[in-house]
């Protein structure tokens, strides 16, 4: 897939990916800051700032004006905050690209941050936090990272604590913007039905105004662990939601390709071992599966499911049994080939969409600082052997690397914690 990159005078990286046979174009802005870059007393400020960008600009002082313009052209748009970056995107008909660019550049370069809007949005964010508290299947995954990385920026919630959300001041928000929203810390991608020269000219005219500055670095996470960790949370729920994390690899580690295939075999689709054993044969879960999370310096494999309260020990025992069999016997040729085929298929489908293409190139430029073409990644996946999988299994399927969070109704937390640790020791 053809793409071109240019670096503007302020250090901003602009990438254009022309796509034929589409009526759409996506504008994506990624800024290299997220909750990993925050101090504890201002935890959640990246996410707070993401919200406030939509609450008014110098030329559009009313928050409703921004949404009305994008809704009028039928655009799909959103923003998101992660641990390592913040993103803003608009996907529209290619004929409306100028409008998308005008809005996104306006909110990022000319925000006003009215005091009354800050206070109003503070309450909105607190409600968002409360909403997530009522989603135990999602909350278990959040808490798992706290178990993995402790009271550090990587281990804390992206949205922040109730105390920090309530205490963040306007001047802190403005200072955070000045220190992190810099040209050298930003990647802008345009993917879709648009001419290369046209896109670069327009990006230079708008985002060339972004401030220069020196990027702040983040502290590396401590990934050491000597024994399994179990964290049980008592909550009145209709089922037990658990998230298990096994320490693995960062996005820079070449072993991530073998890990990805192993994760697919384990629980990455509806024919995976976890799905077939726990849902289809035992009927003990509606959702069950596995996925990987990779940061710039650390990563982990996650297994999650929602099960009957009284069946958690049984399901964990089955998970350990499945992992143990893979560790002892490896995977079959068919499983590995099927996982590669599945990955190729899903990868190909993702590249049909301009927003997915924009993310594919934008994340690489921002985080990896280098660009792989789709065929480069597919070659790496194709080269993974069963022996590569075996090495991964021997490394991460280790009782000392297991972490568990379970939210639900527990009869005796201390007793159950010891029981689950004993189950993990059977791997």
Q: What is the pLDDT of residues 33-79, one digit of tens each?
A: 999 999 999 999 999 999 999 999 999 998 899 999 999 999 999 99
Q: Find how far residue 13's CA is from the centre of its chain.
A: 21
pTM for this model (two decimals): 0.96
Q: What angle do CA 423, 426, 427 make, to 5 degrees?
A: 115
B/e letters for 260-289, b = 16+ CB within 10 Å, e = fewer, are: bbbbbbbbbbeebbbbebbbeeeebbeebb
| CATH number of the domain located at residue range(s) 229-424 in this protein | 3.30.830.10
Of the candidates 32, 72, 84, 79, the one whose C-alpha atom is nearest the C-alpha of residue 52 is: 79
Mean pLDDT of all residues in the chain? 97
Q: How many CA atoms lie within 13 A of 44 on its CB side?
A: 21
CATH of domain 4-207: 3.30.830.10
- Distance, in Å, from the CA atom of 210 to the CA atom of 219, rounded to the nearest integer, reads 26
Q: For residues 83-103, give the mean pLDDT.
A: 98
pLDDT in tens, 343-397: 999 999 999 999 999 999 999 999 999 999 999 999 999 999 999 999 999 999 9
Distance CA 184, CA 412 (A): 52
Nearest to 182 by CA among 82, 107, 108: 108
Phi, psi angles (nearest 5°) of residue 157: -65, 140
H or E segment and range at residue 381: helix 374-382
What phi and psi values does residue 141 have, to the nearest 5 degrees?
-70, -40
| Residue listed under structure tokens 């982990």 | 300
Alpha carbon 245 to its chain's center: 15
Q: Each residue of 238-267: pLDDT tens digit?
A: 999 999 999 999 999 999 999 999 999 999
Closest CA to 4 of 243, 198, 162, 293: 198
pLDDT of amino acid 224: 93
Cβ atoms within 10 Å, residue 113: 18
Question: How many Cβ atoms are within 10 Å of 426's Cβ, its own excluded?
Answer: 11
* Residue partners of 385: CB distance under 8 A and separation at least 6: none
Reported as a pLDDT band with limits 50, 70 and 90, residue 217 is confident
Beta strands 402-408 and 229-234 are parallel
What is 233-262 written as a DSSP string?
Answer: EE---SSEEEEEEEE---TT-TTHHHHHHH
4-207 matches 229-424 in fold: yes
Report the alpha-carbon distance of residue 22 to residue 91 in Å, rounded: 12
Domain segments of the chain as ranges = 4-207, 229-424
Is residue 406 within 8 Å of 240, Cβ to Cβ? Answer: yes
Class of residue 298 by CB neighbours under 10 A (exposed 0-12, middle 13-18, buried 19+): buried
Question: What confidence category does residue 214 fall into, taking pLDDT thresholds of 50, 70 and 90?
Answer: confident
Spatial distance between the Cα atoms of 168 and 156, rounded to a whole number of angstroms: 16
């Amino acid at each position: 897939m053809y793409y071109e990159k240019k670096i503007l005078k302020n250090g901003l990286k602009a990438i254009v990916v022309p796509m034929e046979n589409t009526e759409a174009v996506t504008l994506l802005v990624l800024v290299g800051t997220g909750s990993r870059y925050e101090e504890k007393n201002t935890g959640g400020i990246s996410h707070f700032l993401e919200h406030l960008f939509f609450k008014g600009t110098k030329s559009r002082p009313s928050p409703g004006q921004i949404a009305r313009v994008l809704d009028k052209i039928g655009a799909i748009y959103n923003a998101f905050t992660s641990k390592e970056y913040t993103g803003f995107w608009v996907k529209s008909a290619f004929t409306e690209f100028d409008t998308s660019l005008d809005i996104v550049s306006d909110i990022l370069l000319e925000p006003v941050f009215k005091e009354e809007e800050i206070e109003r949005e503070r309450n909105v964010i607190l409600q968002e936090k409360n909403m997530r508290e009522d989603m135990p299947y999602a909350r278990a995954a959040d808490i798992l990272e706290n178990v993995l990385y402790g009271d550090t920026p990587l281990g804390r919630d992206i949205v922040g604590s109730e105390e920090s959300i309530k205490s963040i001041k306007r001047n802190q928000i403005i200072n955070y913007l000045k220190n992190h929203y810099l040209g050298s810390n930003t990647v802008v991608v345009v993917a879709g039905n648009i001419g290369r020269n046209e896109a670069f000219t327009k990006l230079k005219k708008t985002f060339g105004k972004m401030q220069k500055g020196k990027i702040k670095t983040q502290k590396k996470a401590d990934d050491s662990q000597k024994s399994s960790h179990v964290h049980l949370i008592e909550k009145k729920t209709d089922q037990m939601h658990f998230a298990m994390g096994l320490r693995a690899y960062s996005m820079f580690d070449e072993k991530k390709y073998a890990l990805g295939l192993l994760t697919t075999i384990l629980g990455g689709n509806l024919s995976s071992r976890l799905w077939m054993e726990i849902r289809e044969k035992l009927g003990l879960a509606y959702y069950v599966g596995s996925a990987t999370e990779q940061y710039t310096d650390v990563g982990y494999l996650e297994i999650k499911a929602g099960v009957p309260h009284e069946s958690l020990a049984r399901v964990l025992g089955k998970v350990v049994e499945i992992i143990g069999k893979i560790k002892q016997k490896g995977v079959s040729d068919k499983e590995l080939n099927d996982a590669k085929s599945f990955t190729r298929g899903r990868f190909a489908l993702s590249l049909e969409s301009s927003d997915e293409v924009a993310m594919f190139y934008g994340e690489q430029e921002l985080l990896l600082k280098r660009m792989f073409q789709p065929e480069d990644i597919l070659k790496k996946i194709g080269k993974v052997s069963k022996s590569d999988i075996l090495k991964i299994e021997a490394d991460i399927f280790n009782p000392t690397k297991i972490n568990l969070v379970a939210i639900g109704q527990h009869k005796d937390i201390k007793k159950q914690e010891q029981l689950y640790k004993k189950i993990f020791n059977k791997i």
